[in-house]
Chains A and B, each alone.
Chain A
Amino acid sequence: MKQPRRSTGRTALPYLLLLPALAVELLIHLVPMVTGIVMSFKQLTQFYIRDWSTAPWSGLANYRMAVDFHAPVGQALLNSFWVTCTFTLLSVGLSWLIGTTAAIMTQDTFRGRGLLRAAFLLPYALPVFAAVITWSFMFQRDTGLVNHVLHDQLHLVKDKPFWLIGDNSFWALLTVSVWKSWPFAFLTLTAGLQNIPRELYEAAAIDGAGIRQQIRRITLPSLRPVNQVLLLVLFLWTFNDFNTPFVLFGKAAPKAADLISIHIYQSSFVTWNFGAGSAMSVLLLLFLLLVTSVYLFATTRRRGADD
């Protein structure tokens, strides 16, 4: 698109090269997606798992059940949705803030910067399950590090609180999520900062701009295109996160930390009602599509207006 491409008479070749990618994408993503949409209109309970095509059609019954907010199923879904929204906003916001701060503060060279960067990237490099299982050990009520520090060493709390059940589980989940996500923001923003020419800062310094102005007038505006992609990616990852709550809490997440992915998983595999689970997944997909399009529309237009 940027350069003129070699147009070719051998039209079959590019398609041949794409064939393997197309085949696996079709098999693993597109066909299941269509299947999922079909499933959401079926009464797909455990009796039909072996041959799902024989399951009777149920029209919109699954959807009606999912959004009936007066009944237990709908109420639980709504609760899970709000928990996920709050959790995502806080986690993405904090991860972005910490990532930006750290990236700006490691922009200048100093002794040990390479080591520090490597250490900051560790949470991103560690396998999710190993890292989160460590956090679940730290959050244990009687044997964990968190309560030891808060209660025994700092005397901040009177009784040792539970972290992995009850309302506190939300904060435990948020802590782990931020710990795990901010290094990615840091990595991306560090890469973005390398594209800012040093002359810009030099020119600004000559004009008498202090550190605060350099950051506000040069660094942050230059990072805007990176941030556009970064915030969207962080949002989608965090909103869909399954691994963190699943390893932290096990199959049943506490109500205060019942993220949408784990909620759907549980509703599907505990009751084996795949029809209802699919309907919830489709609703989730529609919501994500809506948010993504609005976001892309708004940010792209604003960028256009600024340029």
Chain B
Amino acid sequence: MINPPASFRWLRRAVLLLLLVFTLTPVAVMLSSSLKPLQDVQGPWRWVPSHLTLRPYVDIWSTVPLARYFTNSLIVAGSATALSVLIAILAGYAVSRYRFRGRRLFTVTVLSTQMFPGILFLLPLFLIFVNIGNSTGVALYGSRGGLILTYLTFSLPFSIWMLVGYFDSIPRDLDEAAAVDGCGPVRTLLRIVVPAAIPGIVAVAVYAFMTAWGEVLFASVMTNDETRTLAVGLQGYATQTDVYWNQVMAASLVVSIPVVAGFLLLQRYLVAGLTAGAVK
């Protein structure tokens, strides 16, 4: 915008400040409460701890098996991300570089699964997993494998869509030059297209990891004590009589750090990827 008047600049300051307070209040609550002794979070709210303590950060690991949940979440989200990115690269390359029958049908079908409510798949998938387990002995229900399989499809449609946009923006001359040099399609993909699309691939990976890390619905049904992820495990700090809010806040902070750090480091790519894929 050109020459915004002073009144607009003041309005802008006020609005942005207000939004900043709205956005950051929960973060401040998390941080301050995680440093409080238990009696502080059992009485009326106070902004500043009566005395600072790191006890909650020690206790969170023993009140619930947080380390196990953490490992489960890392395995599930990590594997789902790796597989989803790999599958999306292959599919995105096919859609971007080849004309084949059913190409349009494929993209429309895959994208439209994105709009379906999770609850629609949950019941049948639950039954299918249970029945596969009963008839073949492959334990998908309650296992990390079942959850990985499910999560990777959650990010797949958007990932394919974004990568097709990204691959389309890479000049085809490069492919043809590689073909002249004797590269087959797979070598071309690995040597030429993937390196040129790294920002898009990083964006897709960040998105896939965040999706898997935060999912609650399927995690609450498809896991058991052994395979429980953080999304469900964090509710274990509430007992029948009491909630250890200081520990809940400390644990929330700890489990947020991997995704928030990754997101802030890589958000540049995500914005670039969105600009290339979605907004075009």
Contacts and interface: CB of A to CB of B under 8 A. Distances in A.
Nearest to A206: B2
B269 interface: no
B153 A145 contact: no
10 contacts: A20-B91, A25-B156, A28-B121, A31-B124, A127-B214, A129-B216, A211-B4, A225-B279, A265-B119, A292-B115
Given A125-B259, A143-B42, A281 B98 contact: no
A281 B275 contact: no
B67 interface: no
Interface stretch (B13-21, B48-56, B57-65, B194-202): B13-21
B127 A35 contact: yes
Contacts of A211: 1, 3-5, 8
Contacts of B98: 5-8, 13-14, 17
A81 interface: no
B214 A148 contact: no
B20 to A, nearest CB: 6
Interface residues on A, range: 35 or more
Interface of A: 2-3, 5-8, 10-11, 13-15, 17-18, 20-22, 24-25, 27-33, 35-36, 39, 49-52, 98, 101-102, 104-108, 116, 118-131, 133-135, 137-138, 140, 142-145, 147-148, 152, 179, 183, 187-188, 190-192, 194-195, 201-202, 204-205, 210-211, 214-215, 219, 225-226, 229, 236, 239-240, 242-243, 246-247, 250, 260-261, 264-265, 268-269, 274, 277-278, 281-282, 284-285, 288, 292
B260 interface: yes
Nearest to B151: A28
A126 B98 CA distance: 38
Query: 8 tightest CB-CB pairs across the interface, nearest first?
Result: A205-B2, A17-B94, A148-B45, A125-B263, A130-B252, A35-B124, A32-B124, A21-B91
B106 A129 contact: no
A122 B106 contact: no
Given A133-B234, A143-B245, A145-B45, A39 B1 contact: no
Contacts of B121: 28-29, 32-33, 36
A45 to B, nearest CB: 13
A130 to B, nearest CB: 4
A80 B87 CA distance: 38
A127 to B, nearest CB: 4
B171 to A, nearest CB: 10
A36 B160 contact: no
Interface of B: 1-5, 8, 12, 15-16, 19-20, 22-27, 29-30, 33, 41-45, 86-88, 90-91, 93-95, 97-100, 103, 106, 109-110, 113-125, 127-128, 130-131, 134, 149-150, 152-153, 156, 160, 168, 172, 175, 185, 210, 213-217, 220-221, 230-232, 234-235, 245, 248-249, 252-253, 255-256, 259-260, 263-264, 267, 270-271, 274-275, 278-279
Nearest to A23: B87
Contacts of A15: 94, 100
A126 B117 contact: no
A5 B97 contact: yes
Contact of A116 (B16, B30, B220, B256): B16
Contact of B117 (A6, A138, A240): A240
Contact of B94 (A14, A121, A288): A14
Contacts of A134: 26, 29-30, 249, 252
A73 to B, nearest CB: 16
Given A6-B97, A50-B130, 18 more contacts: A13-B98, A14-B98, A14-B100, A25-B153, A31-B128, A36-B120, A49-B130, A102-B16, A120-B19, A122-B260, A129-B230, A130-B234, A134-B249, A138-B29, A144-B45, A190-B271, A191-B275, A261-B217
Contacts of A201: 1-2
A194 B268 CA distance: 13
A240 B119 contact: yes
Contacts of A191: 271, 274-275, 278-279
B199 to A, nearest CB: 14
A91 to B, nearest CB: 15
Contacts of A123: 23, 26
A149 to B, nearest CB: 8
A11 B210 CA distance: 36
A143 B214 contact: no
A204 B127 contact: no
Contacts of A122: 23-24, 27, 260
Contacts of A118: 264, 267
Contacts of B128: 31-32, 35
B271 A187 contact: yes
A219 B130 CA distance: 53
